[in-house]
Amino acid sequence: MSDESDVWTVKRVLGWAADDLRARGNESPRLEAELLLAQTLDLTRIGLVLAHDRPLEKEELATYRALHVRRRNGEPVAYLRKMREFYGRPFRVDKRVLVPRPETELLVEVGLARTRDASLSARILDLCTGSGCVAITLAKERPTTRVLGTDISEEALVVARDNAVRLGALPSVSFRCSDLFDDLGPSLEDDGEGRGGFDLVTANPPYIPAGDRDGLPRSIVEFEPHVALFGGDDGMVVTNRIIDEAPGFLATRGILAMEIGAEQSRTVAQRLAIRGFQDIEIRQDYAGIERIVSARWLGEEVGAKSDSSGPA
C-alpha cells in the first residue's frame, strides 16, 4: 500500500499551492490555485470541491506544477489560462494584449448609457482595442450598431478578430490597424458615408507614466505589452492626441469616453473643455478612483470646433 504522504489529492495540492503563493505576497492565492487546478483537471471550481479527495495522476500533477511555477514567476493567471472573463463573456488573451480589467467594464457601461438615445444604426469606434473586449462587448450589447476597433498592433488585432469570431460578434464588429485616427482614411469603414460621423468613440489608451514602471507588479511590467501600458512621461501623450483629434471623427452630439489613470481626471476634463467638448462626466471605479471621463461633442459639423452657445 502506498504511503499517504505520497498521494497528492485535490485538497492537498490546493493547500500547498495557496500557501506557496501566499508566502510570495500573492493577493489571491487560493483563488488562483483553484483556477489553475480547475483548468488542469478540466473541472469547475465547484467540481474541485466535490473532488477534493481525488488523487492527481502523475501527468496531471506535472502539468499543474508547470503552471504553478509560471505563476510563481509572475506570469498573469489570465495568460496561463488563455482566458479572461469580461462583461460576462470569455475572451482569449495572451502576451499580445493587455489582460482586461474589471474597471474597463465601466467604459462599456458609460458608452452604452450615454448613447442610449442613439439610433439603431449608431456607429462606434473603439481605439486601442487590444483583445477587442470593449468593441465586441458593445457590438454584442447593441447588435444593430456597427463597431470598428482599431489598434496600432497587428498582433493584438489577430487576438481581437479571433475573439469576435468565437463570440459571434460578426458582422457587427470589424477591426483595422491604425495609429489612433491616422489610418482610418477619408471614409467611415470604407462605406462612402464621408469622414467622421461616429456616435461614440471609446478608448482605453496607454496612460501609465513612464516613471511609474518600477512600482508596478512584476506580472504587469514583465509580461503585458508596454505599448499598451505606458503613455509617455506624464502618461497623457496618447490621451491628449485622442482629445485633440476626436472631433474630426465624431458626429454632432457624439460621445467620447476614455479610461484614464489615477489623478488624471482634472487634467483630462480641463483639456476636453478647452478643446470644445461639453457635458463632461467623470465616473469612479470600484476602488473610488476617477477612472472614466466622457464628454459630448456639440460641433455643428464633423471636425468643426464647438460653439459653447450651441444646443445642449
Residue 116 lies in a domain: yes
Residue-wise pLDDT for 182-207, tens only, equals 988 654 544 444 445 899 999 999 99
Q: Could you tell me if 122 and 43 lie in one domain?
A: no
Residue 213 in any domain: the answer is yes
The Cα–Cα gap between 93 and 109 comes to 22
- Percent of the chain at pLDDT > 90 equals 86
Half-sphere exposure of 56 (CA within 13 A, CB side): 23
Q: Which three cell numbers stand for residue 20?
A: 506557496
* pLDDT band for position 288 (cuts 50, 70, 90): very high
Mean pLDDT, to the nearest integer, of 125-130? 98
Query: Does residue 309 form part of some domain?
Result: no
3-class secondary structure, 274:
helix
The reported pLDDT for the residue numbered 300 is 52
Whether residue 275 sits in one domain with residue 164: yes
Is the N-terminal amide bond of 171 cis, ω within 30° of 0? yes
Whether residues 152 and 275 share a domain: the answer is yes
Domain ends where: 54, 73, 92? 73
**Nearest by Cα to 79 from 254, 264, 243, 224:** 224
Looking at the structure, tell me whether residues 9 and 98 fall in a common domain: no
The separation between CA 159 and the C-alpha centre of its own chain, rounded to angstroms, equals: 12
Q: Region 256-263: what's the mean pLDDT?
A: 97
Q: Is residue 302 part of a domain?
A: no
- Residue 305 clears pLDDT 70, i.e. is over it: no
29-41 and 10-23 are packed helices; what angle lies between their axes, rounded to 10 degrees?
Answer: 140
Domain boundary among 21, 50, 73: 73
Domain shared by 176 and 68, yes or no: no
Q: Are 138 and 126 in contact (CB under 8 A)?
A: yes
Amino acid at 103: E
- What size, in residues, is the chain? 312
Domain that holds residue 130: 84-297
Band (227; pLDDT cuts 50, 70, 90): very high
| The last residue of a domain, from among 73, 100, 132 | 73
Quick check: 156 and 131 in contact, CB under 8 A?
Answer: yes
Note whether 17 and 156 are same-domain residues.
no
Flag whether pLDDT at 209 surpasses 60. yes
CA distance 150 to 169: 16
Nearest CA among 146, 152, 204 for reference residue 183: 152
Q: Cβ(93)–Cβ(131) under 8 Å?
A: yes
| Domain match, 60 and 127 both | no
Query: What is the C-alpha to C-alpha distance for residues 54 and 18, in angstroms, rounded to an integer?
Result: 18
Domain annotation covers residue 56: yes
Domain count, the chain: 2
Domain assignment of residue 306, yes or no: no
Give the separation between CA 185 and CA 196, rounded to whole angstroms. Answer: 10
Biggest CA–CA distance in the chain, Å, is: 86
Q: How confident is the model at residue 304 (pLDDT cuts 50, 70, 90)?
A: very low
pLDDT tens column, 23-44 = 998 999 999 999 999 999 999 9
| Virtual torsion, Cα 58, 62, 68, 70, nearest 10 deg | -170
Q: Residue 133: inside a domain, yes or no?
A: yes
Q: What is the pLDDT of residue 311?
A: 29
Same domain? 9 vs 131: no
Return the HEC string of 106-137. Answer: HHHHHHHHHCCCCCCCCEEEEECCCCCHHHHH
Residues 125 and 88 in one domain: yes
Average pLDDT over the chain, rounded to an integer: 91
Distance of CA 30 to the CA centre of its chain: 24
CATH at 33: 1.10.8
Contact 93, 159 (CB under 8 A): yes
Residue 308 in domain: no
Q: For residue 103, what is the domain's CATH number?
A: 3.40.50.150
**pTM across the whole model:** 0.89
Residues 36 and 185 in one domain: no
Q: Are residues 124 and 38 in the same domain?
A: no
Task: Kindly state whether residues 17 and 129 are assigned to the same domain.
Answer: no
Tell me, what's the pLDDT at 187?
A: 43
